[in-house]
Homo-oligomer: A and B are copies of this chain.
């Protein structure tokens, strides 16, 4: 095979430019490794005139990514625009219909339309690859789909949103409030245009849903991910967790249970000596557990020009080398529609609330927990501040639904002020 692989790149933001740089800088290396030249034929973006710091003069230009996708002089369509509707979706479908393979960095598109896209691509004999959509530069899609292909996967976990991990570690290291660090991160450009995608756990939830589909042979089901963002985590929670030997992380967990597929993305307490607990700043970490291999931990940069472009190029090189695999590691038609199991796996919980200054308040809390079948492992009540006293409870293993029942009861009896914070203590 000495036919060049001809790329069309839709999107010339950070990632698109990163891809152009790699193709230009490493032309010889890529050709040696792939056994054929990797060339860019055409590109597309919103503004043609913008200076992006790379020479695009050798490539044809398209204003519309759909036109790019249909060009006869491209074999592979690279979608690095983002957004799960509109041009990204239209152009991806157009590329498949025009007989092109697709490499995408678009987690939202894959998480929401992955099943339909995979089915279309496989009917057309086309390949969709998306390493860059999950955990940036970490080759975790490859590790899971290919490296662990001989394993029954039992659990996939990870810290997959660098911005949230940055905020949580910065709060702890600088002793700052969530609001202060959020502001800071936003000003530094660390957050999405809609920050809720990051701090609400949505972006990380997309990634988890994609990994779960591969791991368990199920249709991607982002709607079934139990999502909880980091907005309610306070610096007090972080300090209390540290006192008990834990860190708070926005942790995604997907596992198949007797009741169905559980997918959660929520703040969790993890042991501070565990690899996940030791993860600082914007780095991502994914833990894969299989019945033969045991536990594999992958760590690396979760975002940025170089890491994301590196992941895209890994996919490009696979296609150049002739690897043609089903989108999610098995034919899309064979992916099962798993029943979603909410909160199927029980765990101890960390519970923080403000008790109002009334006789018997603590007794009522303890009673509500007991009624919900929850036993208390540890409890601390602090001195009153104004009219309320902070109370910390660590429960024994319970389910989130039992806990929510108890919390509802606290609120009904009027003994707590504000909303109690409940954070799962993850067994890892």
A317 and B33 in contact, given A275-B299, A296-B300, A323-B323 (Cβ under 8 angstroms): no
Task: Classify chain A: how many residues form its interface, as a range.
Answer: 35 or more
Please state if B323 and A18 are interface contacts (CB–CB under 8 Å).
no
Residues of B within 8 A of A33 (CB): 149, 329-330
Cα distance, A286 to B324, chains bound together (Å): 28
Interface: A195 (CB within 8 A): no
Please state if B152 and A26 are interface contacts (CB–CB under 8 Å).
yes
A33, A147, A324 — most chain B CB neighbours (10 Å)? A147
Q: Mark A303-344, 1 if CB is under 8 A from B, else 0.
A: 010110111111011100111111001110010000000000
Q: Residue of B at shortest CB range from A33?
A: B330
A306 → B minimal CB distance (Å)? 4
Q: Residue of B at shortest CB range from A306?
A: B292
Interface: A162 (CB within 8 A): no
Residues of B within 8 A of A307 (CB): 292-294
Please state if B323 and A32 are interface contacts (CB–CB under 8 Å).
no
A22, A142, A149, A312 — most chain B CB neighbours (10 Å)? A149
Interface: A131 (CB within 8 A): yes
Please state if B323 and A292 are interface contacts (CB–CB under 8 Å).
no
Interface: A150 (CB within 8 A): yes
A30 → B minimal CB distance (Å)? 7
Please state if A313 and B149 are interface contacts (CB–CB under 8 Å).
yes
Interface of A is mostly: mixed
Interface: A224 (CB within 8 A): no
Q: Residue of B at shortest CB range from A145?
A: B33
Residues of B within 8 A of A299 (CB): 275, 296-299
Partner of A296, one of B131, B275, B298, B329: B298
Partner of A297, one of B139, B295, B298, B325: B298
Interface: A137 (CB within 8 A): yes
Please state if B324 and A139 are interface contacts (CB–CB under 8 Å).
no
Q: Residue of B at shortest CB range from A291?
A: B306
Q: Mark A19-42, 1 if CB is under 8 A from B, else 0.
A: 000100110011011110000000
Partner of A310, one of B22, B150, B309: B150
Interface: A278 (CB within 8 A): yes
Please state if A30 and B321 are interface contacts (CB–CB under 8 Å).
no
Interface: A301 (CB within 8 A): yes
Q: Which 7 A-B pairs have the closest CB atoms?
A: A150-B313, A139-B147, A149-B317, A293-B310, A292-B310, A137-B293, A296-B300
21 inter-chain pairs at a CB distance below 8 angstroms, sorted by A residue, are: A18-B292, A22-B151, A29-B152, A30-B150, A32-B217, A35-B331, A142-B142, A142-B147, A146-B146, A146-B317, A149-B314, A149-B317, A150-B309, A150-B316, A292-B309, A292-B310, A293-B307, A294-B304, A298-B298, A299-B299, A322-B323
